[in-house]
Structure 1
Amino acid sequence: MDIQLSILQFFQEIRSPLLNSIFLIFTISTEVPVIIGFTAYMYWCLNKKYGQKMLFTLVGNITLNTGVKEFFRAPRPIGIKGIDSMRVSTATGYSFPSGHTQTATTFWTSLAIIFKKSWLTILSIIVILGVGISRIYLAVHWPIDVLFGWILGVIFTILLCKIFDYVDSTKKYWILIILLVVFILSIFIVNSNEYIKIFGLLTGYVLGYIVEDKFIQFKTDYIPKGKIQFSKNIKLNTHKSDKIKRDITRFLIGLITLGLVYFGLKYILPNDVIFNYIRYTVVVFYAMAGVPFMFQLLNLD
């Protein structure tokens, strides 16, 4: 603890307006609105399979992170004598392991795995390290929280990517059900209402993925509606413009209706552990299967 405290105090001593801005940008880049916006656009508009894989790694890691946090219930350094923590409004829950760090590690590791570009791998490493260090710089996590956020993020993301690829190619959905059962059994070990609520994310994903993959099967590839063009260049430009319009329409409809479902259920359902679990399950299920089904109904496929 003395070494960790010394590390926090070191970063506190080198603070400056420039470093404050840099590390705030790093930490904000991995918060919920940014991650949701990017992954939703990837899934609904750019590349369905890439989006599904990224969302799987994210909900899996978030569920795991919450379970570990609720099991250890480690206190944060916030309020410790001699420590001046910053941006504490987003530092909720327990400390170990760092949720921001594990989420950033998950997001950027999955991007590097999916696209396999050297420049993206380098960028991913920079951002992953930057987000982790930012949590220490802001003094909202102990160094060991960040270290295990990195470790769990990398290991579990690689594992989940392999599981997704295998299930998606073989259609052995029972593997996902077994994964759910494992997390269900861990509820009795963790013994936390917060973990049960967050487990709804993984439940909604698994059910939504299976329903979409078996029955909806929407596409992100753009297939133009048989327009007659006299110029090849005009035709290509028109198709590109049509795809952009379709993608923007999809994204806006998806986000708006997803927000309505989330806040509507939050208003209707009681603030109870079971109903919170149901709310999270329904919201993610709607994002995975309901929104794509709406695209088909609105002829946006």
Structure 2
Amino acid sequence: MDPFLLSELDFIQSLQGGLGGLVSLFKGITFLGNEEFYLLIIPLLYWCVDAGLGLRIGVMLIFSNVFNSALKLAFHSPRPYWIDSTVRAFSSETSFGMPSGHAQNAASLWGLAAVKIRKTWFRWLAVLLILLIGLSRMVLGVHFPSDVLVGWGVGGLLLTAYLQLEKPVIRWFNGLNPSRQFTVALASSLVILLSGFLVLLGVSRWSLPPEWGQTALLAAPQDPINPLTLAPFFTVGGTWLGFLTGLILMLRSGGLMNVTGSPLQLSGRFLIGIAGVLVLYAGLGALFPREPEMVGYGFRFLRYSLIGFWISAAAPFLFLRLNLARRI
């Protein structure tokens, strides 16, 4: 085994030996980078706190996940517990390891929030969370230190690019007529899917070492690994199409929803809206077939399109109809 890889494994084992008693705490910290957490926090921001910030965080999450999914396939590197049975898998993942999606999203999303909120205390909180989320992935045995460092680096680059491109892209998009905006939404969603096919084609001659799967199953028998998949691209492509289509409809029909309101209105929005998210996420997830593979991808794309559309438009339209909100 590569000496550098051995040193990283030693580091992880040292972390688990010293911090293993805090596994529950680190599972809680790592949840702050999970898909389920973002399905809660982004709607909360968009519906009840700051619509502009919610939109920006949502867009950043979508494109961070596109790059992360593509890079994972391109690097096709293992996770620690896939190659060393002495590493304890306090959590488990089915995708490749590098770069860490949790670390990348933490750097890009919490970094963007810190830039937009501009409060000193929040910026220190964001830095602390970025560091702790990365640390949690190593303590839980699902990432090497290099995975986390690369994740932070990619997240920082995406944040820099976003801050440079945000204003000119918004000006360009707002200058398009509605039909062209919808065309852009569909075309960009298809580009996301195409990028997945191209990257997977690029590693088609590479075979997953059988010992990775065997070692991973010893540590986490409930989660057999399946890293050579297009599922993340259909997830993100569908979410993007639904989210952007809904946003276009909201803007063209009178503007975004005003997030202010009484405590009863705010709580009503969040509870009704999140109930809809859960029905689409968990309900349709259990109902829609996953096999055969391409059929499963199609239903995944549809499910996440509905989730994105519900968050950006369907739920706000419902809130307006129920007098739980008003236009800006």
Deviation of 1:67 after TM superposition, in Å, equals 2.2
Computed over aligned residues only, the root mean square deviation of the Cα atoms, in angstroms, reads 2.5
**CA 17–195 in structure 1, closer or farther in 2 if over 3 Å, else same:** closer
**CA 203–148 in structure 1, closer or farther in 2 if over 3 Å, else same:** farther
Matches within 5 A, 1:122-137: 122-137=124-139
Unaligned runs of 5+ in 1: 223-241
Deviation of 1:268 after TM superposition, in Å, equals 4.5
Matches within 5 A, 1:273-288: 273-288=297-312
Residue type of the alignment partner of 2:10: Q
**What is the aligned partner in structure 2 of residue 214 from structure 1?**
252
**CA 99–62 in structure 1, closer or farther in 2 if over 3 Å, else same:** same
**CA 212–12 in structure 1, closer or farther in 2 if over 3 Å, else same:** same
**What is the aligned partner in structure 1 of residue 266 from structure 2?**
247
- Deviation track 1:43-90 (CA, whole Å, cap 9, x = no partner) reads 01111111101111011112221222233332211143363233223x
**What is the aligned partner in structure 2 of residue 188 from structure 1?**
197
Instruction: Give the % identical residues.
Output: 28
Matched-pair contact (CA < 8 Å) for 1:216–1:289: no
**Segment drifting more, 54-63 vs 246-255:** 54-63
**CA 53–154 in structure 1, closer or farther in 2 if over 3 Å, else same:** same
- Deviation track 1:249-270 (CA, whole Å, cap 9, x = no partner) reads 0000000012223344334433
Residue type of the alignment partner of 2:71: V
Counterpart CA distance in 2 for 1:77 and 1:68 is: 18
Matched-pair contact (CA < 8 Å) for 1:53–1:161: no
Counterpart CA distance in 2 for 1:128 and 1:84 is: 23
- State the secondary structure of the residue aligned to 1:274: helix
Unaligned runs of 5+ in 2: 201-228, 291-295
**TM-score (normalizing by structure 1):** 0.82
Counterpart CA distance in 2 for 1:16 and 1:155 is: 30
| 1:26 aligned to which of 21, 24, 29 | 29
Deviation of 1:32 after TM superposition, in Å, equals 2.5
Matched-pair contact (CA < 8 Å) for 1:266–1:279: yes
- Deviation track 1:211-243 (CA, whole Å, cap 9, x = no partner) reads 222225232343xxxxxxxxxxxxxxxxxxx62
**TM-score (normalizing by structure 2):** 0.76
- Deviation track 1:147-186 (CA, whole Å, cap 9, x = no partner) reads 1211111211332344444444551466864654543441
**What is the aligned partner in structure 2 of residue 266 from structure 1?**
285
- State the secondary structure of the residue aligned to 2:88: coil
